[in-house]
Amino acid sequence: MTDQYAVIGNPIAFSKSPLIHASFAQATGQEIEYRKIEGPLGRFEETVAAFRAAGGKGLNITAPFKLDAFAYASEHSPAALLAGAANAIKFDGERVLAENFDGVGLVRDVVHNLGHALRGKRVLMLGAGGAARGALLPFLAEQPTELVIANRNVDKAQALARLGASRGQVRGCGYDALVGERFDLVFNATSASLVGELPPVPATVFASAALAYELAYGKGLTPFLRLAQGAGVRQLADGVGMLAEQAAEAFAWWRGVRPDTRAVIGQLAIALV
Ligand code: NDP
- Residue type, position 94, single letter: E
* Residue 273 clears pLDDT 90, i.e. is over it: no
Rounded to two decimals, the pTM is 0.96
CB 74 within 8 A of CB 94: yes
Q: In ligand 1, which atom is closest to the CA atom of 132?
A: 25
What is the pLDDT at residue 1?
A: 85
Strands of the sheet with 183-188, listed across from one edge = 170-173, 146-150, 122-126, 183-188, 206-214, 235-237
- Is the shortest distance between the CB of 82 and ligand 1 below 6 Å? no
The question of whether 16 is a catalytic residue gets the answer no
What is the pLDDT at residue 60?
A: 98
Please state, as a whole number, how many other Cβ atoms lie within 10 Å of the Cβ of residue 194.
10
* Residue 96 clears pLDDT 90, i.e. is over it: yes
